[in-house]
Structure 1
Amino acid sequence: MEIVVGRVGRAHGIRGEVSIDLTTDEPERRFAPGSSVVLRPRSGGADQSMSIRSTRPHQGRLLVMFDAVPDRTAAEALRGAQIIADVDETERPDDPEEFYDHQLEGLRVLSGGVERGTVNQVLHLPGQDMLAVERLDGTEVLVPFVAALVPEVDLEAGVVQVTEVAGLLDPEQAEDAGPQ
């Protein structure tokens, strides 16, 4: 099974290093020197398998050198590509509070003991991860994937529990907080 573990950012320096916008909580595992990843170009070109030569932290980001990227020009050509890693379908993240996207997608969403929809997709946004929930009426809402709002994920039962918050799963019922 393929998972997206990052996106190639800007080139760094002249020797082919690139910055990585991470979408994994396991960068040391996914970007280990000698391991391979697949780069999927943003423009829709052919996927490229790349072997990782080296990694290092730099100002809160990860810098990566790939074997097949000799210079800055080649590094800039990769900008925006998704970085894909293969994982065993039964593999679990090291932390029991973490999940792969494919484990969450398709789970039933319950709130207050009532089924409210299904997790359609996990979105990795700059501020936080969001669950795109398809409600029973076919519309979609976004739920921040934080413990205060999603206190329980039960993979075996196929359920995500969402805290009852006015307007979270039913935006049309949100209280008008504007001036009266």
Structure 2
Amino acid sequence: MHSDDPQQLELLRVCRIGRAQGLKGEVTVQIFTDEPEYRFAPGAVLYTKDGEEEYVVESSRTFKNRWIIKFEGIDDRDASEAANGVVLYGEADDPEEMLEADEWYPKDLISLEARLAEGNTLGLKPGTVVGKVV
């Protein structure tokens, strides 16, 4: 179960469950992540927005540029049809590890100053503030 701790990791939207795929509980998903191999790896845990329900990936595969996922506990077509439309979230990556890898989420850029780079093509002084990210 997702923690009730107010210091819990932030949840990021990963996918929306779509149509049932076959008879054994697989579903198609509309993805909102740039790391589907990581987010849909067997054993990965995804959550509903409120964190009340967990969806554990049992298996995943791609077919014609679509992701098809089998979640634990969704074992037949009726269950997979009932899950249609559920939006799932995953925990954000560790900020320290992201910093070391020079990675960030777009939301992390909001309110940062935009400055002119060294050798900018405008011929203006490098470091000049030209705006803020909104």
For the aligned residue pairs, the C-alpha RMSD in angstroms reads 2.8
C-alpha displacement of 1:111: 8.1
Corresponding residue SS for 1:83: strand
- Alignment of 1:107 onto 2:111: yes
Which residue is equivalent to 2:14? Answer: 5
Report how many aligned residue pairs link the two structures.
112
- With structure 1 as the length reference, what TM-score do the two structures score? 0.53
Corresponding residue SS for 1:92: helix
The code of the aligned residue for 2:14 comes to V
Which residue is equivalent to 1:92? Answer: 98
4+ runs of 1 displaced by more than 6 Å? none
C-alpha displacement of 1:34: 1.2
The code of the aligned residue for 2:53 comes to Q
- Alignment of 1:49 onto 2:68: no
Provide structure 2 residue ranges, at least 5 long, that are not aligned to the other structure. 1-9, 117-128
Q: Distance in 2 between matches of 1:55 and 1:12?
A: 12
Please tell me whether the aligned partners of residues 8 and 79 of structure 1 are also in contact (alpha carbons under 8 angstroms): yes
C-alpha displacement of 1:68: 1.3
Which residue is equivalent to 2:68? Answer: 63
Alignment of 1:163-174 (within 5 A): none
Q: Distance in 2 between matches of 1:99 and 1:61?
A: 26
Provide structure 1 residue ranges, at least 5 long, that are not aligned to the other structure. 120-180
Structure 1 residues 82 and 99: alpha-carbon distance in aligned structure 2, compared to 1, 3 A threshold: farther
